[in-house]
Structure 1
Amino acid sequence: MSNYKKWVNDDINKMVQNWNNEEEIFRTKIRLENNKFKTWKVKKIRRRKIIINGNDFEYKLGVYIDKNTRKSFTYYHNNELKRIGKNKYYYKDIYNQFSKQIWARRKYNEQKLIPKYVLDYHLKIGNLSYDFKKNKNNFDTNNLVQIHIDDTYIKENLGHKKVKRCLRNVFLIDKNNQIHTLIFKENYKNLTFICSKIKEFFGHNFDVRKIKISGDGAKFINTISQNLGVKRYYDLYHFKKYLFNVFGYTRTKNKQNYNFLRYFGIENLYEILNNFLEKLDFLSVIMILKNIINFLKNTKTYAKKLKEIKSFLRFFIQNEKYIFNTFLRENYHGGRAEIYINHIIKTPIYKRFSLFNWKNYKNLIQLKSQKISFDFY
């Protein structure tokens, strides 16, 4: 046993022993000498067990009968025991575990942690509470603000059933990297409502030239950018991922792309396209793709690849303006939606063997990212 562990256990033993000594002193001396307690008659000594730091301890409480009222009661002879009451666990341990958001799991409880239902009970009766900081006032809406939008999915525990839910996440970030997050669950399809809440955050007289929206190719993001009247960017991560899936390869990924490109002698097509994009020569990209499509049509080979390239070209032309804005990189900080989804949303709520209701999801998300302000709808 380490020194610190030994010292902690010694201190706890002394504390419990002091409680028992105080009980005996009150029962045998103070009760008899103080007129306030002269009508109290000892009925019995009650022994209670408590778990402190994962170990079991026993302490004594006096049970008395008032000679005048004939009523019996348990007397808590110090403030520490009054706080504990009938609780099985020490209140300081409950608070510490709640603050760290750790609790006993289904597997063997090696750390002797307190079960979650105990924490939930004290949260319900008001002994515990979440204290989330609101940093909206620190958010600078007067300077460049970038909006990142993306969806993610959760499974919500409704008690009698589990339901898959879509969360539409709107991350607003200012030039000082202050983040405010709007999460839409019930109204995620109502784009008018989403736009109204974004406008409400900025205020009615916001400067559209200082706001940029970044996201993948989802049409609802186009609708939001048009409603707000702000510049739209295509999320660079999602675009590069799509480009790589169609034309890129490594030693372990997309070997079918390598075989296809080697067959036509253009193994470095991904790099060629990427170089043209970086130079903002989008016309060359379109011409290369059209030439490949025409060649594949004439040779009548690689039908599946032909379909993929056609689909990519159609997507590229439809989103050309947004992709151009992205590669122009004019005051654009890059797509961060995927990063924020993983770090702000998924990390705190995806726990093995755990399924939460919506209230707990909100608490876990806010608890993990207390420097970020949130609004849930």
Structure 2
Amino acid sequence: MFSFKEFQAIEINNSITKFVKKVENWDEYFFQTRDKDRYKVAKKCNRTINIEIGFATFNRRVYWDKIEKRYRYFTDEEFNIEKRARIIKDLKQEIASYLGRKKHYQDIQDILKYTYVSKVTISKIYKNAKIEEKLPEQKFKVKNNEFIYINADDCFVPVWNKNNKREMQKIRSISYNTGKKQIGKNRNKLLYKIYTFMGDYKYSNKEYYLQANPTVDFTWNGLKKYFEFETAKLVVSGDGAKWIYNLAKYLGAYYVFDKYHAFYFLWTAYKPDKRKNKVNPENLKNFLIAWKYFCKGQYDELIAFLIETNINKDTLKTFVNNKEGIINQPASWNIGCSAESDIQHLVKSQTKGAKIYAYPTLLNK
């Protein structure tokens, strides 16, 4: 009875055999046509490498270069096989291509099952991968008085440091877009969205002032790198942290307090559903009143109501310190904030299936 699995195994073995024959034929061709006065055969030995469909063992010659006074591996060079490397470059690139695609190491092993590549090998390839930034072919043009939206947020991710000790690494996310477009009944798409991250980020108290602010420099450099503009209007939005407000102030931008975090702070403070499946009517009423004031940008009314309802000091301080971000809520140009989803989708989701990565691996992902 026909078995596709057996048929596939036979075809793979045939392909490996053809590859080995091609390598050995080229080695023989070079042996016959080489400069015999310059290249002397030093030895002939087997080499086993891991290719995309399994292990291949072939026999090739090693030469002594009489002029350069060194050994030459011409067959390895011809077939792009690195010195002492067990895995060929093409397979390394194939494995590295899964960086940032939210794949478990086990997923990659299943996809490349005939290579028998180990999790340790995948980890090393991820850690040592050289990632290049892919820039747009042209900068996005923004007309005068049009908007560029900047979403900013922080998160902490556990990593292994250089001393193989666990530490929390801060990743700062700065994303840009030029507005939104409706693509469905309840679905919008951000236009010309660009994600950037500050790696190797180190916190400094100076960030709370307008001097020597690395976040401002990073954000401004990103604007100039990806967008072509002269007098565009800038909007900075985030979770209410002081550094985000300072970023907006330094850039001369409008500032917006993220609705997601405002909702979370108010809901947590009033606790309308303190018990399972049971709503506290009074707390729910207070929450809805505070939320209405926030959405309408009624800062004075909101602060007065928070004080009147004896909200906790930390929550009150957060709203008191975000006056501009609250007042700008009903503005026609306010399209909301995507900073939290940026962090969730592009940073935290990369650690799917693993509790902790080495920092270079996380940064590459």
TM-score by length of 1: 0.67
Tell me by how many angstroms 1:234 deviates: 0.7
Superposition pairs of residues 136-175 of structure 1, within 5 angstroms: 137-140=138-141, 142=143, 143-162=146-165, 163-175=167-179
Tell me the residue number matched to 2:188.
none
Number of the residue aligned with 1:322: 325
Q: Secondary structure at the match of 2:97?
A: helix
- Describe the superposition over 1:103-136 as per-residue Cα deviations: whole angstroms up to 9, x where unpaired: 9959996632251476379x6xxxx743321239
Whichever structure has more helix as a proportion of its residues is 1
Q: C-alpha distance in 1, partners of 2:308/2:71?
A: 92
Distance in 1 (alpha carbons) for counterparts of 2:269 and 2:322: 17
CA deviation vs aligned residue, 1:123-157 (integer Å, no higher than 9, x gap): 6xxxx743321239524454301222222223454
Q: 1:188 to 1:201 in 2, by over 3 A?
A: farther
Please list the CA deviations of residues 200-219 of structure 1 after superposition, one character each: whole Å capped at 9, or x if unmatched. Answer: 5556x9647x1112122222
Cα distance, 1:331 vs. partner?
0.7
Cross-structure match for 1:225: 248
- Taking the aligned partners of 1:181 and 1:77, their CA distance within structure 2 comes to 42
2:254 paired with 1:234: no
Counterpart position of 1:97: 95
Moved more, 220-229 or 273-282: 273-282
Between 274-283 and 234-243, the greater mean CA deviation after superposition: 274-283
Q: How many residues align?
A: 328
Contact 2:175 2:193 in 1 (8 A): no
Aligned to 1:271: 288
The letter of the residue matching 1:183 is M
**Residues 338, 47 of structure 1: alpha-carbon distance in 2 compared, 3 angstrom cutoff:** same
TM-score (norm. length: structure 2): 0.69
Letter in 2 for 1:60: N
Residues 38-72 of structure 1, C-alpha deviations (whole Å, 9 max, x = no match): 99987864222222336333211246799x99x99
* Separation (CA, whole Å) in 2 of partners of 1:136 and 1:94: 27
Does the 8 Å contact 1:173/1:180 carry over to 2?
no
**Post-superposition shift, 1:322?**
1.9
**What is the aligned counterpart of 1:245 among 268, 272, 277?**
268
SS in 1 for 2:81: helix
The offset of 1:236, in angstroms, is 0.8
- Percent identical across equivalent pairs? 18
1:255 to 266, 269, 275: 275
Contact 1:249–1:257 at 8 Å: present in 2 too? no
Change (3 A) 1:168 1:190: farther
Runs of 5+ unmatched residues, structure 2: 180-190
Closer/same/farther in 2, CA of residues 230 and 4 from structure 1, 3 Å limit: same
Q: Post-superposition shift, 1:187?
A: 5.8
Contact 2:270–2:284 under 8 Å retained in 1? no
Alpha-carbon distance in 2 for matches of 1:201, 1:64: 51
Match of 2:185 in 1: none
**Alpha-carbon distance between aligned partners in 2 of 1:283 and 1:35, rounded to the nearest angstrom:** 87
- Give SS of 1:133's match: coil
Look at both structures and tell me which one has the larger radius of gyration over its CA atoms: 1
Structure 1: which amino acid aligns with 2:247? Answer: I
Secondary structure in structure 1 of the residue aligned to 2:265: helix
CA RMSD of aligned residues (A): 4.4
| Structure 1 residue runs without a partner (length 5+) | 294-306, 365-377
The question of whether the paired residues in 1 share the 8 Å contact of 2:44 and 2:59 is answered with yes
* 1:247 partner amino acid: Y
Aligned mates of 1:170, 1:77 — CA distance in 2: 47
Any residues of structure 2 matched to 1:198-213 within 5 Å, and which? 198-199=219-220, 202=223, 207=231, 210-213=233-236
Offset at 1:240? 0.7
Q: 1:53-64 residue pairs with structure 2 within 5 A?
A: 53=52, 55-62=54-61
Distance 1:105 1:218 in 2: 36
